[in-house]
Amino acid sequence: MTKGVLVDLNKCIGCRACQVACKQWNELTAEETTNRGTYENPPHLSAHTFTRIRFNEVADNGNFHWVFAKQQCMHCEHPACQAACLVGALQKNEFGAVVYDDKKCIGCRYCMMACPFGIPAFEWEEPLPWIRKCTFCSDRQGGGLEPACVTACPTGALKLGERDELIAVARGRISAKPDEYVDHIYGEREVGGTSWLYLSPVPFERIGFPTRGDAAVTINPERAMSAVPPALFAVAALMTGLYWVIKRKDRLNRAETDDQKEKEEVAK
Amino acid sequence: MTTVRRSFGDIVSVGRSFPIGTSILTAVAVIGLGVMIYRYLNGIGAISNLSDGRAWGLWISLDLYCGVALAAGGFTLAGAVYIFNRKKYYPIIRSAILTAFLGYTLVILALLVDLGQPWYIWHIIINWNIHSPLFEVGVCVMTYTIVLALEFSPVVFERLNLRVPLRIIRSIQIPLVIAGIVLSTLHQSSLGSMVLMMPETVDPLWYTPILPLLFLISAIAVGPAMVIFESSLSSRAFGHKLGQDILSGLGKAIPYILGLYLLLRLVDLAVSGEIGLIFSNYPHNMLWWLEIIVGVALPIILLSRASIRQSKTKLLWCALLVVGGLVLNRFNVSWFALAGREGYTYFPHWMEIAVSAGLIAWAIIIVMLANRYLPLHHHEGEWKVGGGKSHRG
């Protein structure tokens, strides 16, 4: 059973205590940013910002919604980054967290390209750069603590629990107040399911959540990779066979022409 | 001492025969080297416009994706000569193997620039994720480079007159060629498998589960085209005489391979019900049309005509179309038709371009020197195809 977090966007007040708590616990430096005319700051996740709140102003069904959406690693059930990483530096662990081991990483950034949510970040300004991303506070969970963001949340918008139970809780909230929630638990099925789950008052595509299919993105590469060993043996056998057959044919032809020449010479 | 003096004289005379060309080449090579040194001191962030929104850029598209595909001349020609016994292509096999070897060396050097932690590249050897397509690419590139070095080594041994290693290499020549074909099949296709991990970001005109197969077939098609390209240029530049029937023979094979490739691409789009995108998916469909018309359909039509294959210049231009189409395809898949994260833009920094250009310049310089110092084009009696009598002798 993997852990997850249910993020109820109806309960989030956009205080960004989670953002601060995350920086504090992970000892992330502040980023210098410019005023972009929004509370949303910094503009992107980065190697120094593992989570942030996105501020969305949405008119939906004639109602105005100001929706605050926490963004961080979704901790997929079938992580593309884990399948992509050639040295196995990214692994989903017993808490459901997808964690990174910089003792293995070589800095190829395939994880960044593979991630369907655009999460892993790179320390571009460092001469010796590593990948950085939300750890689901595995270090805290290992000691029985909740993730720093969950602990910091003052409204209960973030709820840690077993993923299955959280889905049941989310269903309950939707059916209890169908007017306040869209009937969609984001992360329940997206890319084969994620540990982090979201409830929202407006459709997710309206608040910047990427629309993702239900199939894990790892399915096609897995299929392709499972074809590698048979392909290896097939090509090797085919080439050896062709070489043998063609060479034999060549030798027979040559022997035939030699025979003919001999006969001609004898006839002379 | 004498060899040193002679090489200096020869280098000077290379300079004399290509005065402007060589000085530009040397300048590009030296600048590239300088930028690489700067990069190892300051990191890739200091010399590139790569960002979290576009983590792979010019180096991956050009040096890895195009570099590996364009080095396919090595395994295709080795297969034709040693497995399919097409002795006709024998005179150009050595330069094809050399360019493939240099191509792979470039790929590795460029990857060492692109990696954030290049000094940990050996982690691939101890930490295996056998499910990662990139792991397959890494292992195959490493081993195939060694195979290519061994395949080329007889040329060096001949030059240095080392008989024992020469005999050893020749005794394992066929297994080496087969290993080369197997490794190439695996990692040409696994470059396509790598992109399969990105179904949400690669444009559906290019994303397909059969991408590995398409990558393999297009690499097999571009192999002969690259050999035509290199051989035509080097025969012009270095004055080696080369029978036109050799190159036109290579040109004859291309339409069959490209025809299969075109068929697969169209059928795949039709089967997945996405064929309509070639009209509706603006602006990416323009790249698709350019790639298909200029790089696939046109070469199929032109190279089917004997009159075009018999003309040195026309054949060279057709080969360039095939190469151009492949380059555009790999750029499309790994960059142009691959969505980055929102809010980021990417255009390569001049130093990114300088690294790639510098590496290519080094390769050309090495090819020029090899043409001068190594027995690339003439073969002693001992060096015959198909295990003739001389092998046993």
| One domain for residues A158 and A233 | no
Domain membership of residue A153 (yes or no) is yes
Q: Do A217 and B200 touch (CB under 8 A)?
A: yes
Res. B118 pLDDT band, cuts 50 70 90: very high
Mean pLDDT of all residues in B146-165? 93
| One domain for residues A244 and A136 | no
Residues of chain A with Cβ-Cβ distance to B114 below 8 Å are: 108
- Residue B55 near residue B384 (C-beta atoms within 8 A): no
| One domain for residues A204 and A161 | yes
Q: Do B199 and A83 touch (CB under 8 A)?
A: no
Sign of CA dihedral A25, A29, A35, A41: negative
Domain membership of residue A209 (yes or no) is yes
- A117, amino acid identity: F
Question: Nearest CA of chain B to the CA of A213: how many Å?
Answer: 8
Q: Which CATH number belongs to the domain containing residue A64 in this structure?
A: 3.30.70.20
Tell me how many residue pairs between chain A and chain B have CB atoms under 8 A apart: 188
| One domain for residues A139 and A43 | yes
Counting the structural domains of chain A, the total is 2
- What domain range is A150 assigned to? 3-79+115-216
Res. A256 pLDDT band, cuts 50 70 90: confident
Q: Do A126 and B43 touch (CB under 8 A)?
A: yes
Question: Nearest CA of chain A to the CA of B119: how many Å?
Answer: 8
pLDDT surpasses 50 at A265: yes
| One domain for residues A59 and A159 | yes
| One domain for residues A48 and A166 | yes
Query: Residues of A numbered 73-132 whose beta carbons fall under 8 angstroms of chain B's beta carbons: which are they?
Result: 80, 83-89, 104-110, 112-114, 116, 118, 121-131
Provide the percentage of residues in chain B whose pLDDT is more than 90. 82
Tens digit of each residue's pLDDT (9 = 90 or more) over A118-167: 999 999 999 999 999 999 999 999 999 999 999 999 999 999 999 999 99
Domain membership of residue A8 (yes or no) is yes
| One domain for residues A258 and A163 | no
Q: Do B185 and A235 touch (CB under 8 A)?
A: yes
Question: Nearest CA of chain A to the CA of B303: how many Å?
Answer: 27
Chain B interface includes A64 (CB < 8 A): no
Looking at A193, A216, A239, the residue that finishes a domain is A216
Q: Give the tokens for residue B200.
A: 């949400």
Residues of chain A with Cβ-Cβ distance to B212 below 8 Å are: 224, 227
Q: What is the ipTM of this complex?
A: 0.92
Residue of A85, A127, A131 with shortest CB distance to B129: A85
| One domain for residues A47 and A14 | yes
- Residue B110 near residue B67 (C-beta atoms within 8 A): yes
| One domain for residues A23 and A155 | yes
| One domain for residues A54 and A174 | yes
Tens digit of each residue's pLDDT (9 = 90 or more) over B171-200: 999 999 999 999 999 999 999 999 999 999
| CA nearest to B125 within chain A | A87
| One domain for residues A192 and A126 | yes
In order of start, what are the domains of chain B with their CATH numbers?
A: 50-346 (1.20.1630.10)
Domain membership of residue A168 (yes or no) is yes
Residues B227, B229, B233: CA angle, nearest 5 degrees = 115
Tens digit of each residue's pLDDT (9 = 90 or more) over A12-38: 999 999 999 999 999 999 999 999 999
Alpha carbon distances (Å) from A85 to A22, A120, A131, B124: 25, 12, 11, 10
Q: Do B196 and A220 touch (CB under 8 A)?
A: yes
Question: Which of A56, A85, A110 should one mutate to test binding to chain B, selecting the residue with the greatest count of B CBs within 10 A?
Answer: A110
Question: Which of A115, A239, A240 should one mutate to test binding to chain B, selecting the residue with the greatest count of B CBs within 10 A?
Answer: A239
Domain membership of residue A192 (yes or no) is yes
Domain membership of residue A237 (yes or no) is yes
Q: What is the pTM of this model?
A: 0.92
Domain membership of residue A54 (yes or no) is yes
| One domain for residues A200 and A236 | no
Distance, CA of B282 to CA of B79 (rounded, Å) = 40
Domain membership of residue A198 (yes or no) is yes
